[in-house]
Chain A
């Protein structure tokens, strides 16, 4: 498998060398998406070495740039090493197709590109929650609060809430940098929300507000990783933020495989095995990343499983990095989201027993406010000197954006029964969540009907991650096209239907198995057409390649 990928990369590099220099192209990204980060492998040096030797040739081919101080062969190799498939090659092709569609409509068998590559609900027509946006508008232009006409255009509780929020901001200045952890009054609201969710106390001083959840993950990686000797246990398949961030910080990703056959189950025995394996290679594992509900795998962990994970971290002295950004996205009645902090506290473990970081984002849930870049991490079980270091790193970036902060406090303290907006808020929220559940079910059933495709149910999150049993002929064709087989499938799917999905190789998978990730986010009225196009495409693909 590995040899295969490297062979592909070599071919691609050769091809690139022969090609004349092309400005503004994505050759390099394409190339990168084929190279695995080394951490998951026993031969960590091969791919970076391959890359750096090739890259000097590549920049050399562009003679006008060879005398410049910063070229591809002289940039930080950690930057070259990291990859992020959610916005990789397939998306670039899709964007080109979209541009071309505007003028060249008749050339394609579809009339629009449907982006199922990324959890970006509002780009696919999901409407924001009205109450949240009313409050944000009022906080954006506070002069509105002095106008009598405002009462005709805004709900009364949004006006009250905007006043309340402004009172918590020093000088009511929404245009000022805040405390580097976020505005204290907003952190109070978040802590209260966590308390209400978990039934255990939360301290506003433990909250660090961030521009989306990703910067929080980066901050923790920066703190934990000193060199490639530091390892982070990550699920495979995983959300590539983790592999990319670990690569950028020069650490080692220590993989643990989720068990597809048992609904992407997380086995403690697998964690132990991988931990021992890493130790034997001289890697000190510092933390365990768990994504619950899972991305891209959509499973929701059982409380019992979570207890075992907590015990494992406690016993092995690992920081538990709990990615809980999909906590509101649970679609099945037999599963419920439990935060790791609640689980740990209910086991009687306090600050001294376990170091736990919980990440939350305003980009997911029923709110889906991706463009706002809001989120927070709740940091517990660290000594004060470590906490000071986290604060210092946060302070270098001054603070996260204020409207993201306001929104993060709002999602943790939404309207209550009796409030003017409560009924409409609940209707909007339930409408979105129940529709997501329906879409997840419809797509899952459709995928399971396809020849050679099996798909676990999306218990939560926003994705389906079907396994495609690709015929040997398709694999051979992919090899001939110098593409990973799942990327080959996804490209064919895009070209035939306009549907954009991400190949499983971007998330990693058990070698020899092939998947893709598809969001459940297209609007409900589009789902039947998507199912039809997907079914038709798959049938013709199989007709072409069936062994």
Chain B
């Protein structure tokens, strides 16, 4: 055999990606056997019944079949503003959806993204540099962008990337694939997953003492899987830290539309950085990521996203462009989704009311679901859960009794994997064990999305509670719990 397992690239073997790992595969098997599975393992809203927003789908359908635009009856199926938008986006392409675009994405769409970024920052300050379309690259989803940037930063295992723990496993998987070193910093669960800069200092010092050159820091804001929103003050500390320690900040801001409380609205790292002024605004290198997969759009299947680079020298931008060009171009229909996301219908447009109604409906329902879920978990024995301030996930801690730890050991499973598998078999709820995201030793979690349909939510939480009660009754022999 030409390609034996033993001969595979070690970095590939090392890489782990739990979101689609053992639990997901088992869930798929059970589904094939006819069991009803509630997939809460991936933030994939449309798979759980969320309806796509109408307006962008109309525009993209017209771009897919541009001959419709010449049909006198097109007005019977499409509103005039969707038709106008389709014409607008087609005019930005060089041959419709079927032609490769510029490897960085259509210039016209990048300009719309730059205007969007600009608009959002403009609210507070008047005088700061324009967001530059030349520094915005469209990508096939945010993951591709993260991979491109990390590929540029990581030279070998001597290069470390600061990553929050718990983290979204894209980061750990990509760092392993590229042969770099993940340098963890722990979020404080008792402080609602707060990010303490002192922890960062410790992590960096420890990595450096091991000869690792720490080159970049990842923040996920709002947090995945932890759901916290970073405050402006906290972001300032982080940016100062990056400035002092010479770290590139990778700001994963894909959940920026998903905010479920009013105390801490989303604020972008770029805006905070620009507000800080000199020397930080010119001295911190920042790459911010966004996507069409999240927010109230949830268009995961389109694979659309962008990243914006700040203070990255032109020659490095050229190198990133070169690597992007090897993949020719991101898919064009997702680029148009991105254009629509950053410039949605405005008040007065024919489709505005419907668009506003649909998007508000989704966000308000998500807000209610976030609450139902947190409350549900907190009402269960040995389960504690921080409130989902943002993003799409609930990340409850499960205090596993010693009996359960022992049973897991006997089954040859990590304790939280053991718990999640039992949960799956008993209820059909497919979650991801906390070990897939990283957690403090001896502490166990699971991640579930808050995406099941709102009307199904009470039933799901009841069935979880029933399972958990039985599980705890079976394994809790009164000798205490795993430590917090």
Q: What residues make up the interface of A, taking CB atoms closer than 8 Å to B?
A: 22-29, 32, 58-59, 62, 64-65, 67-72, 74-77, 79-80, 82-84, 86-87, 118, 120-126, 128, 130, 133-134, 136-138, 140-144, 147, 149-150, 152-153, 170-171, 173-178, 180, 211-212, 214-215, 222-226, 241, 244-245, 248, 286-287, 313, 317-319, 352, 354-355, 363, 368-373, 381-383, 385-386, 389, 392-393, 395-404
A482 to B7, CA, bound (A): 43
Q: Does A403 lie within 8 Å of B248, measured CB to CB?
A: no
Binds A, one of B260-268, B322-330, B418-426, B435-443: B322-330
Check if B285 sits within 8 Å of A70, measured CB to CB. yes
| B326 smallest CB distance to A (angstroms) | 5
Please state if B246 and A68 are interface contacts (CB–CB under 8 Å).
yes
In Å, the complex CA distance between A222 and B8 comes to 9
Chain A residues closer than 8 Å to B66, beta-carbon distance: 133
Is A124 a contact partner of B95 (Cβ separation < 8 A)?
yes
The contact string, 1 if C-beta is below 8 Å from chain A, for chain B 288-300, is: 0000010000111
Which stretch of B39-47, B116-124, B223-231, B367-375 is in the interface? B39-47
Does B73 have its Cβ within 8 Å of any Cβ on chain A?
Answer: yes
List, in ascending order, chain B residues with CB within 8 A of A248's CB. Answer: 151, 323, 326
Check A371 against B319 for contact (C-beta < 8 Å): no
Q: How far is the CA of A67 from the CA of B246 in the complex (A)?
A: 8
Q: Are A143 and B2 in contact (CB under 8 A)?
A: no
- CB-nearest residue of chain B to A394: B20
Residues of A within 8 A of B11 (CB): 226
> Measured between C-beta atoms, what is the minimum distance from B139 to chain A in Å?
10
Q: Are B98 and A372 in contact (CB under 8 A)?
A: yes
Instruction: List 17 other contacts, CB 8 Å, given A77-B155, A133-B64, A383-B1.
Output: A29-B321, A62-B315, A70-B152, A71-B315, A79-B152, A122-B96, A130-B67, A152-B76, A171-B49, A175-B298, A176-B45, A214-B326, A215-B327, A355-B3, A371-B333, A401-B302, A402-B302
Chain A residues with Cβ under 8 A from B100's Cβ?
Answer: 118, 120, 123, 363, 370-371
A143–B79 Cα gap in the complex (Å)? 13
Q: Is B17 within 8 A of A392, CB to CB?
A: yes
User: A23–B62 Cα gap in the complex (Å)?
Assistant: 39
Please judge, given known A-B contacts A70-B285, A393-B15, whether A369 and B98 are in contact too, CB under 8 Å: yes
Contact between chains at A67 and B215 (CB < 8 Å): no
* CA gap between A27 and B73 in the complex, in Å: 52
Does B282 sit at the interface, judged by CB under 8 A? yes
For B, the interface residue count at a CB cutoff of 8 angstroms equals 101
B98–A128 CB distance below 8 A: yes
CB distance from A374 to the nearest CB of B (A): 8
Are A241 and B64 neighbours in the complex by a CB distance under 8 Å? no
**Closest B-chain residue to A178, C-beta based?**
B301
**Which of A122, A382, A395 interacts with B20 by CB under 8 Å?**
A395
**Contacts of A212 on B, CB cut-off 8 Å?**
327-328
Is B479 interfacial (CB-CB < 8 Å)?
no
Interface residues of B in 147-202 (CB under 8 A from A): 147, 151-155, 170, 173-174, 177
Q: 1/0 per position for B5-36, CB-CB distance to A under 8 A?
A: 10111111101010110000000000000000
The answer to whether A122 and B99 touch (CB under 8 A), given A143-B54, A173-B301, is yes
Nearest CB of B to A131, in Å: 10
CA–CA, A63 and B46, complex, Å: 49
Could you say which of B60, B134, B326 contacts A140, with CB atoms under 8 Å apart? B60
Q: Are the C-beta atoms of B3 and A223 separated by less than 8 Å? A: yes
Q: In the docked arrangement, what's the CA distance between A398 and B326, Å?
A: 20
Q: Is B303 an interface residue (CB 8 A)?
A: yes
Q: Give the interface centre of A32, A82, A140, A153 by most chain B CB atoms within 10 Å.
A: A140
Instruction: Identify which of B2, B52, B73, B152 contacts A76 (C-beta below 8 A).
Output: B152
Q: Mask for B235-249, Cβ within 8 A of A = 1, else 0?
A: 000000000001110
Q: How far is the CA of A241 from the CA of B455 in the complex (A)?
A: 49
> Which chain B positions have C-beta within 8 A of A29?
318, 321-322
Q: Is the CB of A59 within 8 A of B331?
A: no
Interface check B405, CB cutoff 8 A: no
- Cα A73 to Cα B398 in complex, Å, equals 47
The residue from A87, A134, A319, A371 contacting B2, defined by CB atoms under 8 A apart = A319
Complex contacts, B60 vs chain A, CB 8 Å: 140-141
Minimal Cβ-Cβ distance residue in B for A317 = B2
Interface centre among B13, B100, B140, B177 (most CB of A within 10 A): B100
Q: How far is the CB of A225 from chain B (nearest CB, A)?
A: 6
Judge whether B74 is part of the interface by a CB distance below 8 angstroms: yes
B15 touches A392 (CB 8 A): yes
B413 at the interface (CB under 8 A from A): no
Q: How far is the CB of A269 from chain B (nearest CB, A)?
A: 21
Residue numbers in B under 8 Å from A368 (CB-CB): 98
Closest 4 interchain pairs by CB? A141-B61, A137-B65, A371-B332, A402-B301
A484 to B174, CA, bound (A): 37
Measured CB to CB, the closest approach of chain B to A544, in angstroms, equals 33
Residue B452 CB within 8 A of the other chain = no
Q: In the complex, are the beta carbons of A396 and B143 less than 8 A apart?
A: yes
Among A26, A86, A136, contact of B64 (Cβ-Cβ < 8 Å):
A136
- The residue of chain B having its C-beta at the shortest distance from the C-beta of A29 within the complex is B318
Q: How far is the CB of A502 from chain B (nearest CB, A)?
A: 13
Say yes or no: is B313 at the interface (Cβ < 8 Å to chain A): yes
Q: Are A83 and B95 in contact (CB under 8 A)?
A: no
Q: List the A residue with the shortest CB-CB distance to B42.
A: A177
Does B94 make an interface contact (CB < 8 A)? yes
On whether A372 and B68 interact (CB within 8 A), knowing A72-B316, A286-B3, A389-B13, the answer reads: no
B318 near A28: Cβ-Cβ < 8 Å: yes
Cβ–Cβ contact B47 & A140, under 8 A? no
For A79, the chain B residues whose CB sits under 8 A away are 151-152, 319, 322-323
Chain B window 316-354, contacts with chain A (Cβ cutoff 8 Å), 1 for yes, 0 for no = 101101110111111111100000000000000000000
Other-chain residue from B141, B173, B316 in contact with A75 (beta carbon distance below 8 A): B316
Is the pair B331, A401 in contact by a Cβ cutoff of 8 Å? yes
* CB-CB nearest in chain A for B170: A396
A-facing residues in B259-291 (Cβ within 8 Å): 282-283, 285
- B5 x A385 contact (CB < 8 A): yes
Whether a CB of chain A sits under 8 angstroms from the CB of B456 is no
Q: Contact check, B61 vs A138: say whether CB atoms are below 8 A apart.
A: yes
B140 is contacted by which of A84, A381, A395, A401 (Cβ under 8 Å)?
A401
Name the B residues within 8 Å of A136 (CB-CB).
Answer: 64-65
Indicate with 1 or 0, residue by residue over B49-71, a CB within 8 angstroms of chain A CB atoms.
10010100110111011111001
How many Å from the CB of A331 to the closest CB on chain B? Answer: 21
Quick one: which of A171, A226, A398 contacts B300, CB cutoff 8 A?
A398
Chain A residue with minimal CB distance to B156? A76
Query: Which of chain B's residues has its CB closest to A120's CB?
Result: B100
**21 CB < 8 A contacts A-B:** A29-B322, A71-B315, A84-B325, A122-B95, A122-B96, A137-B68, A147-B77, A222-B9, A225-B9, A226-B9, A286-B2, A363-B328, A370-B329, A372-B332, A373-B140, A373-B330, A381-B2, A396-B170, A397-B141, A397-B143, A399-B301
Supposing A26-B318, A69-B285, A75-B152 touch, asked if A176 and B8 sit within 8 A by C-beta, the answer is no
Q: Give the Cβ gap from B164 to chain A, nearest Cβ, in Å.
A: 18
How far, in angstroms, from A223 to B61 measured CA to CA in the complex? 37
Q: Which residues on the A side are within 8 Å of B44 (C-beta)?
A: 176-177
B431 to chain A, nearest CB (A): 16
B313 contact set on A, CB distance < 8 A: 59, 62, 65, 68, 70-72
B448 within 8 A of A: no
Any A CB within 8 A of the CB of B312: yes
Asked whether any CB of chain A lies closer than 8 Å to the CB of B406, the reply is no
Q: List chain A residues, Cβ under 8 A from B283.
A: 67-68
Task: List B residues 64-95 near A (Cβ within 8 Å).
Answer: 64-68, 71, 73-74, 76-77, 93-95
A69 touches B247 (CB 8 A): yes
- Contact indicator A371/B101 (Cβ below 8 Å): yes
Known pairs A177-B301, A319-B2, A386-B3; A122 contacts B246 (CB<8 A)? no
Query: How far does the alpha carbon of A392 sit from the alpha carbon of B177 in the complex, in Å?
Result: 11
Q: How far is the CB of B281 from chain A (nearest CB, A)?
A: 13
Whether A170 and B285, one on each chain, are in contact in the complex, defined by CB atoms closer than 8 angstroms, is no
Pick the contact of B15 from A27, A317, A381, A396 — CB < 8 Å?
A396
